[in-house]
Structure 1
Amino acid sequence: MRKRQPPGHLEAEVLATLWAADHPLTTAEVADGLGDAKAYTTVQTILTRLHAKGAVDRQLVGRAHAYTPRLDDAGLAARRMRAVLDRENDRLAVLRHFVGILSPQEESAVAELLGPSERSDAEDE
């Protein structure tokens, strides 16, 4: 029996294949690059989902689409975090819990990234 891959594993493999390329790849080229004899239709489905998520761009080349990555690993993780946050009713509570589980270094990095916002400056006026 074949061991099931974790969610997002195939998306990550497809993106890694695109990142390694020096030109846009068609579905067939991505499937060949994966090397695990993935079905063309499976790779096409993953590319379509990645395009819908904004993770890849596509352009028509002949009768096929060629894909280029739009996001790196960090950008893709940020989109997933945003999607999780968007599903919650009490986003503030989720953010409080998230900040509560950060390491001191991570918390400092977040504080530095946020810095003084222009909105809080406008509110002070």
Structure 2
Amino acid sequence: MRPFGDLEAAIMAELWDRGQPATVRDVLAALNGTRSLAYITVMTVMDNLHRKGQLGREMTGRAWLYRPIRTRAEHAAALLQDVLADAGDRQAALIHFVADLDSDSVSQLRSAVEAARRRENQTRGDTA
């Protein structure tokens, strides 16, 4: 998975922040508060995001309603997985990553690892 381009990222951020499906016109109105974009530009990018599997859509009346397929957190996790897959030495990459974290982030990472282990144990039926 490739990271989003600037306009793709702005569109995805708008849809994630919105928390509900939106039309091209809705997204255009929100984005035009900070930049000047043409309807066809936003429509094309949203259609491309749909074709790439990043947005789902359903026809409502005469307009498509678009929604993100993944949450922002799920998308970020997929990007991190891709980075690790491309790193060559996963362990070295993780060591460098963790070494640059502040203590709060290390605590959050520990909690996330423990939660993932508990979830995995529950899935397998373990009680540990």
**Smaller-chain TM-score bracket:** 0.5 to 0.7
Q: Which residue of 1 aligns with 2:64?
A: 65
1:64 deviation in Å?
4.4
1:105 deviation in Å?
2.0
Matched-pair contact (CA < 8 Å) for 2:14–2:27: yes
1:110 deviation in Å?
1.0
Query: Using a 3 Å threshold, how does the CA distance of structure 1 residues 94 and 30 change in structure 2: closer, same or farther?
Result: same
Matched-pair contact (CA < 8 Å) for 1:59–1:65: yes
Aligned residues: 111
Matched-pair contact (CA < 8 Å) for 1:31–1:37: no
* SS of 1:37 mapped into structure 2: coil
Q: Please report the TM-score for the alignment, with normalisation by the length of structure 2.
A: 0.61
CA distance in 2, matches of 1:64, 1:42: 16
1:2-56: CA deviations, max 9, x gaps? xxxxx744334323432454752222332233113313343234324544353x3
Matched-pair contact (CA < 8 Å) for 2:53–2:69: no
Is 1:103 the counterpart of 2:102? The answer is yes
Q: Please report the TM-score for the alignment, with normalisation by the length of structure 1.
A: 0.62
1:80 deviation in Å?
2.7
CA distance in 2, matches of 1:19, 1:109: 23
Q: Which residue of 1 aligns with 2:125?
A: none
Aligned sequence identity (%): 34
